[in-house]
Structure 1
Amino acid sequence: MIEDFVRHYGYAAVALGALAEGETVLLMAGYGAHLGWLQWPLVVAVAAIAATMGDQFFFFLGRWYGPRLLHRFPGLKRRLPRVERLLQRGAPWAIVSVRFLYGLRIAGPVLIGMAGVAPWRFIVFNAIGALIWAPIITGLGWVFGAGMVQLASRLQQGEEVLLMAASVVVVIAWLLWRRRHRADD
């Protein structure tokens, strides 16, 4: 499904994927570049620009609407101490690394915006992070893409087998239940 999305929409899919937590789309785009659907340098450039823009949006969202967002999304509040600890240890590298930390790709910039980091500082280090992130993830897709497609295919086959087995179990359970209730009547 993601393969079709990337193949059909190309660089627009890369941009949309990078705006949100786009590792999966970017991995597939790297594989697509390997197959010749896309050009690797353009995938990296589009991903880095879109990821930077997306994080800037979330940073300013946190800066302007932070308390309201904490009230509306309690999960953000649970992540705030983690981001504050990262910022206390070394703000520039916390900004760069937040995109690599699971669960903080979108929440991180919101929380950094709430923490009072200067906008210029976030813009610079966020862009550096995107320029590191985009070629790494795209490169992983380039190198390991074929294996990912095979793994996804096997997982899909496994899901189909599990679905069929679950269906059989449900039918047998229903037949046994029905048989028992008929015996009670």
Structure 2
Amino acid sequence: MFEHIDFSYLLATYGYLAIFVGCLLEGETILILGGMAAHQHVLKLLPVIGYASLAGMLGDQLLFWIGRYFGARLLPRLHKQQAMIDKVTQLINTYPLVSIFSVRFLYGMRLVGPLVIGASRVSPVKFTCINLLGALVWATLFASVGYGAGEFLERILGDLKAYRLPIAVGVVGLMAVIAVVRHYRAKK
């Protein structure tokens, strides 16, 4: 079924768009794959980082403003996220600048964090500046991990062109397993 799909063409044609949309929603998995595609010269590393940074920042800005205007009504309705909301609130009260920068790196806080920060009345200018810096560091880190993974796999497997689809499926599967394990650990 997949032997007729030109994965390189799909990556080259839609790769940056996929990175942008993926980083608006979740980010890490698509960003690692984007870094691997950059290693294979299907995409370029700096645009991968640029699109991911922009999408990550815009997504968090949107959540910040939602929290700013609707946080008082919205946050009490997120009962299942209350532990995360409390953690982010405590982090903001103790280390406001660090919380803005690091919330995208903390598992389970990527969506709730900017909402809580927006509701906390942190200055929009302060949030935007630190959010931009955090998005750049985040995108650079995960794209570089993907680039390094591509280099490592190429040393082991040789030319990765024939392995692109299985590698992509494997990375997505690995990230899904990690998410499930973290989810069950968080419940305990």
User: TM over 0.5: same fold?
Assistant: yes
Deviation string for 1:129-173 (max 9, x for gaps)? 0011011000000111465929928x79xxxxxxxxxxxxxxxxx
For residues 26 and 150 of structure 1, the distance between their equivalents in structure 2, rounded to whole angstroms, comes to 11
Task: Please say if residues 59 and 111 of structure 1, whose CA atoms lie closer than 8 Å, have aligned partners that are also in contact.
Answer: yes
C-alpha RMSD over aligned residues: 2.6
**Contact in 2 for aligned 1:26/1:47 (Cα 8 Å):** yes
Q: How big is the shift at 1:10? A: 0.9
TM-score normalised to structure 2 length: 0.73
1:152 aligns with 2:170: yes
What is the correspondence of 1:1-185 to structure 2 with a 5 Å cutoff? Answer: 7=11, 9-145=14-150, 147=153, 149=167, 152=170
What CA distance in whole angstroms lies between the structure 1 residues aligned with 2:22 and 2:168? 22
Q: Are the aligned partners of 1:48 and 1:131 in contact in 2 as well (CA < 8 Å)?
A: yes
Sequence identity of aligned pairs in percent?
36
- Alpha-carbon deviation of 1:106? 1.3
The one-letter code of the counterpart of 2:101 is: V
Q: Which has the larger radius of gyration?
A: 1
Compute the TM-score of the two structures, normalised by the length of structure 1: 0.74
Looking at structure 2, the residues matched to 71 and 83 of structure 1 have their Cα atoms a distance apart, in angstroms, of: 14
Tell me, which stretches of 5 or more residues in structure 2 are unaligned? 154-165, 175-188
Letter in 1 for 2:130: F
For 2:141 and 2:33, how far apart are their aligned partners in 1? 13
